[in-house]
Every structure is written in structure tokens, then in C-alpha cells.
Amino acid sequence: MRGRYRHRVNAPPAALLDARYRVGSLLARGGMSTVYRGTDTRLDRPVAIKVMDPRLAADPAFRGRLEREARSAARIDHPAVVDVYDQGQAATGAGTGLGGDGPLLFLVMELVEGGTLRDVLRARGALGVPAAFAVMEQVLSGLAAAHRIGLVHRDVKPENVLISRTGEVKVADFGLVTASAQAGPSTAGMIMGTVAYLSPEQVATGNADARSDVYAAGIMLYELLTGAPPYSGDTALSVAYRHVNSDVPPPSQIAGEVPPELDELVLRATRRDPAVRPDDAAAMLAEMHRVAVRLEVPRVPPPVPPPRPLEEQDTVPAAPQRLAGGTASTPGGTAVSAALPAPGPRGTRALPRPDDGTPPPHVRARRRSRRAFTFWTAVVLVLALLVGVTAWWLGSGRWTEMPSLVGLDAAAAQQLLADSDLVVRVIEAYDDEVADGLVSATDPAAQAALLRGSTVQITVSTGRPTVPEIAPGTSVAAAEQALRDAGLTPVHGSDDTDDSDSVPAGSVLRTAPEAGTELRLGAPVTIVVSSGESDTVQVPDVVGKDFDDAEDVLDELDLDAEGRSAIPFLGRSDGQVVEQSPRAGTTVERGSTVTLITV
């Protein structure tokens, strides 16, 4: 069990806890508990001992609830869940090495050597799609095992996801929040400490079911993809308000490489209405598997936590240090004297030869021999290294593998190819299924063996084609080529014509559908061609105009005006028009006469 690492201190030597567990060094300290490394002396195995906060341990409701929750959590048998081995309590912590005179309440769990997902996020930030999938697959598998037997975690967050040094991912602390939820008022602030991952129903009513865990898993997936949870604020209340009243934004707004399918998975898992989320972790895991298959997400191992700082690591006894005057210091602080020459027979003692700075001949010869040996050893090692590198290069070293790129952002795909020592050629093509800017195809296919430095081709989707803008008056041939270049099929029949006073006959008048319409690849687009001016025209409305003005309007349409007085012999044939024949809107041939009745 590994939490957020603090200063590593050792609990003082003490009697066994519950006559079985030896308490060791401090591993982590949180709001509700403190975790120690321990040893189960009966089974001779390392364990993690979680000691509850004295305020909680003093609450009878919490003690009873924790015992029931520990029994339930122990029923979960899954490699992605931290095993609960035992639970116990004592009237006092005195004499156990843990101190304190109040009641002692503890859990004994599997010890995970490593760190938390929070440690990984602090060190790396956003993990990227493959690594995020690697972590979430195991988290959801562990939650699914709990949901199958009716258990709800209620506090899914990076701090409760442990990752071992070998890449095992395990969910921890099942039932702890459930137990604390029924404790006294003094623990309310502890539960609010994880408000960044609380579902709207937990904030509003305090109720939770499997879909609440799904919501928290969706928030955690968002954080793995972007490096931060979607909501933050100065107070827990402001964050809780956002959960209840706002929809989680798509992660692609922060991390541009996140594909739309993954956006939809995060948004579906974090819907405010529990009824429209996946029913449980197993359902969310199935959806994530479908997205991974569709996007061809490569399988990678989960990221491991960074090494702990030196001051937090277990100490090792220092080597003896040489002291002045020929003594050596031992770890215990005693000094061991260096051996002096023993007196010779009859009390005589060998005296040292005067030192003129020149080593004796046998010493010089031995040094020459060592130098020669070192030189030839170095030569042999260099030759062996050259032979090894050459053999590696001629064998597998000059080969690399085509990575899986379909569905990735073009920039990310080019970076992966550069990391694989491949040269990329990019082409663009319309695609009905792949979104704009994502890789739709590769040549060669994924996992193909290639020589390093080979050139590969990736096809980047430009999305579905749209009808291009074709100016009126464009030739039919030019319009057809523009439509073909846009991935569409030009269509033009003898009936696809229309009259136009402004576009010459035989030129393009318009397209159907109009420019800017999005269509499927290869969809037909009709080219409507101008037939020139029409032989007919609609009679305009000139009633109310003076005869001269009305005559000008009709003349522009190639129509003749004939004036006639409304009162024979008394009216004016060039007065104001009060009636016309034919009526306005009537279609007549050009050159026709329109009779205007005037007064």
C-alpha cells in the first residue's frame, strides 16, 4: 500500500499489533488514516497497516460500519483490487509503537510497492491516449468486479489507484468513504476533500451507486488525457456547484490529440443524469474496448511511478570510513587500528628504507604489466563491442516496425514515425468516416517490418467533401473538373438548363445542391447551364405611373406601350395609368403590346 509519500520515519519498536503484526515505517498520512509498512509474523509476509484517525476510531457507528465494509471488500477477488486481509481494534494504542491513549482501529491490506496514479500525474502530466487506456482498463476491471457483487467504491480518484514498480494497477480503499459517511459531523470535511471527483447525485443527496463510480472514472479519464480535472475552484462548494450545474467539457478542448470517439466516451460517462451513463464499470469498460479497437489504440504498459526521493528511501549502513592515523571507523562508531609491524626475534624491528620517491624494481615491473593488461583488455572490449553492434545492426538493429497510426492526429502520427526512424510522406484525401485532421490510412499497414530510414505514406483525412464555389459564367468543363477535384461526381443533362439575362448561354448558371453543402464522397452534383435570354417575359405592374415612365419600364423588357384614355375624347392618353392589359405577371412574348388606360 503506497500513498502520498511524506517524510519517511520509522515507528518505534513496540509489541505486536493484535499479537500478530509488527509495525514498521510510515508510508503515507491522509485526512482519515495513517498507513504503515508492517509484517504479518504468522505468515511472514509484508503488509500495509492502515490506522484510522482517533476521531473516527472513537465513533461507535464508524467502527461498526468499517467492520462490515471491510468484510464486504475482502470478498472482492480481483488482481486490480488491493486485497483486504484483516481488520481489528484495540482499546488503546499504547504499547503498540503507534502511541496514543485512545481507541485504535486498523485495517491490514496487501502491500503494493510503488506509488499512486497521482504520483504519475505529478511527474508526467497528461499521459496520452494509449497510457490512459492502459491505466483505465485495469481500474474499470477492478471496479467491475466490485459492482458485480453489489459494492460501490464512492471515492474513485488518482490517490486511490496504486501502481506497482512492475506496472500492476490496483484500486484501494473500498468501503472507507461509505463507513465515514455514517460517522459524526466532524468528518464531513474529509469527504468533501475529494469533491473534484464526486458525482452530482453524491453532492446533491449523498446517494451513490455503480453509476456514481462510472462518473468518477470518467472524470479521472479526463484528467489522464488533459493533465487536470475539468473543474477547479477556490472552495469545495464552488467545485461541487460545477458538478451539479455544468456539463463536463470534451477533453479535446485541452488536449487536441484526443479523437472525437474518446470525447464521446468521457462525456457519456460524466452525464449529470445517472440514467444516461453506462450502467456500471463493466459497461464503461466494454465501451472503452470498442473505442480502442475502432481507433486502433496501441497496447502499452501502464506508466510506473517515479523513483522516490533519496530522503524517503530506506537507509543502508554506510561503508567503514578511513580515519587519519591508520584507523577505520565502523558503523557502530568504534575505531579499528591498522596492524603495525611486529617486533622481530630478540626484540629487533625491521626499519623502513629511506624513501627517495622511486618505487622498487619489482613494483615498477608490476605496474608495467598492469598497464599492458589494462590496454589489451580495453582493446578486446572495444573490438567485442564493435562486433556486437555490427551484428545487431545487420540482424535486428536496422529494422523497425510500422506503428499503428489510423485515427491519430497527423502531428502525433508524424512524431511516432520520427521516433521509429521512418521518413513520412503526407497526402490528404476526403473520407466519409474519419474526421478532418486524423490519419485515415497508412502504406504500409501497421506492424509491417521496415528498414530504418524507409519512406512511408500516411493519408490524412480532410473530412467529407463540400460542393465548391463555382462562379456563374464558368465553362461546363471547368465546373466538372472542380467537382471532380472536390471528390464529387458532376452531372449535366439536356434538361438541366434555365433562362438567364446575365449569364451567356452555354455557361454554368449554378449547381444543385448549392456551394458549401457537405456530401458523401462521390455524391452527384447537378450543373445547371444557362440557356440565355428567354423569348418570353412577365408583364410588370405599371399602374399608378405616368404614361412616359410606364413606357420606359416596358421598353426595357422589349414590350410596346399603347396609351388609351379612360374617357374617350375628354381624357389624356399620356396621363396617369389606372389600368393595364395584359395584367401584371402575365407571361407574353417579347415585342408584345401592353395597353395602358390613362386619365
Is the pLDDT at 111 greater than 90, yes or no?
yes
pLDDT, tens digit, 9 for 90 and up, residues 508-543: 889 999 999 989 989 999 999 887 777 778 889 988
Q: Is 264 domain-assigned?
A: yes
Q: Is 375 domain-assigned?
A: no
Task: For residue 454, give its domain range.
Answer: 400-461
267, 295, 323 — which closes off a domain? 295
Is the pLDDT at 102 greater than 90, yes or no?
no
The CATH number linked to 488 is: 3.30.10.20
Do 481 and 564 share a domain, yes or no?
A: no
Do 110 and 162 share a domain, yes or no?
A: yes
Do 437 and 581 share a domain, yes or no?
A: no
Do 146 and 87 share a domain, yes or no?
A: yes
Q: Is 334 domain-assigned?
A: no
Q: Is 364 domain-assigned?
A: no
pLDDT, tens digit, 9 for 90 and up, residues 561-587: 888 887 766 556 678 888 888 998 888
The overall pTM is greater than 0.85? no
Is the pLDDT at 7 greater than 90, yes or no?
no
Q: Is 500 domain-assigned?
A: yes
Q: Is 339 domain-assigned?
A: no
Do 35 and 68 share a domain, yes or no?
A: yes
Q: Is 376 domain-assigned?
A: no
pLDDT of residue 164: 94
Do 124 and 42 share a domain, yes or no?
A: yes
Name the average pLDDT for the chain: 80
The CATH number linked to 159 is: 1.10.510.10
Rounded distance, CA 441 to CA 81, Å? Answer: 39
248, 270, 295 — which closes off a domain? 295
pLDDT, tens digit, 9 for 90 and up, residues 427-477: 999 988 888 999 999 999 888 888 888 899 999 998 899 999 999 989 989
pLDDT of residue 334: 29
Do 414 and 285 share a domain, yes or no?
A: no
Is the pLDDT at 547 greater than 60, yes or no?
yes
Do 542 and 494 share a domain, yes or no?
A: no
Do 516 and 543 share a domain, yes or no?
A: no
Q: Which helix (H) or strand (E) holds 162?
A: strand 161-164
pLDDT of residue 268: 97
pLDDT of residue 184: 46
Rounded distance, CA 464 to CA 281, Å? Answer: 35
Per the model's pLDDT, the better-predicted residue between 112 and 53 turns out to be 112
Give me the active site residues, please. Answer: 155
Instruction: Please list, in sequence order, all residues whose beta carbon lies within 8 angstroms of the beta carbon of residue 131, skipping any fewer than 6 positions away.
Output: 224, 300, 302, 303
pLDDT of residue 256: 85
Number of independent structural domains in the chain: 4
Rounded distance, CA 175 to CA 70, Å? Answer: 7
Q: Is 450 domain-assigned?
A: yes
pLDDT of residue 535: 73
- What HEC string does 510-539 produce? EEECCCCCECCCCCEEEEEEECCCCCEEEC
pLDDT of residue 140: 97
Per the model's pLDDT, the better-predicted residue between 107 and 177 turns out to be 107
CB contact at 8 A, 223 and 121: yes
Rounded distance, CA 528 to CA 495, Å? Answer: 9
Do 446 and 594 share a domain, yes or no?
A: no
Rounded distance, CA 213 to CA 221, Å? Answer: 12
Do 219 and 255 share a domain, yes or no?
A: yes
